[in-house]
Amino acid sequence: MPVNAPLLEVQNLCVSFATRGQMIPIVENISFSIGEQEILGLVGESGSGKSVTAMALMGLIDAPGVRITGMALFKGQDLLAMSGKQLRTLRGQEIAMIFQDPMTAFTPVYTIGWQIDEQLRVHQKLSRRQARARTVELLGEMGVPDPLNTANRYPHQLSGGLRQRAMIAMALSCNPSLLIADEPTTALDVTVQAQILDLMRNLRKTYGSSVLLITHDMGVVAETCDKTLVLYSGRVAETGTTQALFAHPQHPYTAALLASIPPMSGPRPERLPAIPGSPPQPLERPAGCAFAPRCTYSHATCLPAPPPAFHAINSHHKVACLLPMEGTPLPPRFSANTTATV
């Protein structure tokens, strides 16, 4: 693997499910890369294909008749071409995943401590006593109060926030180089979310991990991620450094999504600039730009297939929209005299 190659490089990932004799494209041509100790935010509304993307990378989709194409080079190896056995090994050691609902990660019949101990012992030569010591240490590092006793509790006996921390502890027990976190804070309260995001930001320092952070919350992305990829209806709308993408969104969907969030500061708008309608069902996805039916800038060239190709605004910002190509890019989000005060 060449020096400076990204940890994970995904190229043209496509996932289609067979439904009633028909192949339904759910994820179309997604490409991105994650560097060492980098946090990439995968953001999009529900149904946009975020979880399917993550599950495809992890080899966790087992729907009959699913078709997954493209390439996903992790440390130079193609995840999509690996055998189930290779993937399982990798999932225990190199890549870990956490979910919105921690109950999916834990078995209800064992204590969380026992389950983390087992994880540790599978991958490292540790005695029971050593494993438990490490488990308690991990739980403590994840901010679990009284980790010694909490380790002896069953998943259902813990609060949502504690279960989430326990799941992160279990995921980190193998010191993964990549953590895939699918809506890890969506079910949590905002003060607890802030703690978990803090934890995520620190993972790269303390554990050297990279993170693929899946969320529907643009605020979470802005505060946590180095790079951002915006999905709309299974396709990449825009991708770039979080800095550039939030300062000057180039895709009308990104811009409209940001505008529709009620502000926490400054004057309250009389009405929120909402996006009309709702995202299309996969089978009703337009041939051209998927956002065209809801887009205020939509015009004749947006409609025919194929969907707009990526236009590179610069080396760290790409957009699947015709406007910049046609010489009429969107204005920046904040004009020069309005500062992004909080």
User: Which amino acid is located at 185 in the chain?
Assistant: T
Q: How far is the CB of 147 from another protein (least distance, A)?
A: 14
Q: How far is the CB of 4 from ligand ADP (least distance, A)?
A: 31
Distance CA 331, CA 321 (A): 14
Residue 49 contact among ligand ADP, another protein, Mg ion, none, beta carbon within 5 to 8 Å by kind: ligand ADP
| Distant-in-sequence, close-in-space partners of 80: CB < 8 Å, separation ≥ 6 | 13, 56, 57, 59, 68, 69, 70, 71, 72
By C-beta, is 44 or 307 nearer to ligand ADP?
A: 44
Q: Which residues on adjacent β-strands are paired with residue 13? A: 30
| Distant-in-sequence, close-in-space partners of 129: CB < 8 Å, separation ≥ 6 | none
| Distant-in-sequence, close-in-space partners of 242: CB < 8 Å, separation ≥ 6 | 41, 221, 222, 225, 226, 227, 228
Q: Which string of x and - marks every residue 56-85 that binds ligand ADP (by CB under 6 A)?
A: -------x----------------------
Distance CA 303, CA 289 (A): 6
**CB atoms inside a 10 Å sphere around CB 23:** 12
Q: How far is the CB of 146 from Mg ion (least distance, A)?
A: 28
By C-beta, is 117 or 182 nearer to another protein?
A: 182
Site membership for another protein, residue 338 (CB under 8 A):
no
Distance CA 233, CA 253 (A): 11
Site membership for ligand ADP, residue 282 (CB under 6 A):
yes
Site membership for another protein, residue 195 (CB under 8 A):
yes
By C-beta, is 176 or 234 nearer to another protein?
A: 234
Distance CA 320, CA 297 (A): 14
By C-beta, is 227 or 285 nearer to ligand ADP?
A: 285
Contact 119, 170 (CB under 8 A): yes
Residue 268 contact among another protein, ligand ADP, Mg ion, none, beta carbon within 5 to 8 Å by kind: another protein
Contact 12, 209 (CB under 8 A): no
Distance CA 12, CA 29 (A): 4
Interacting residue with another protein among 5, 66, 194, 313 (CB under 8 A)? 194
Q: Which string of x and - marks every residue 40-59 that binds ligand ADP (by CB under 6 A)?
A: ----x-xxxxxxx-------
Residue 239 contact among Mg ion, another protein, ligand ADP, none, beta carbon within 5 to 8 Å by kind: none
Residue 251 contact among Mg ion, ligand ADP, another protein, none, beta carbon within 5 to 8 Å by kind: none
Distance CA 71, CA 49 (A): 17
By C-beta, is 96 or 144 nearer to another protein?
A: 144
Binding site for another protein (CB under 8 A): 45-46, 145, 159-162, 189-195, 197-198, 216-224, 242-243, 246-247, 256-258, 260-265, 268-269, 271-276, 278-279, 340, 342
Binding site for ligand ADP (CB under 6 A): 17, 19, 26, 44, 46-52, 63, 282
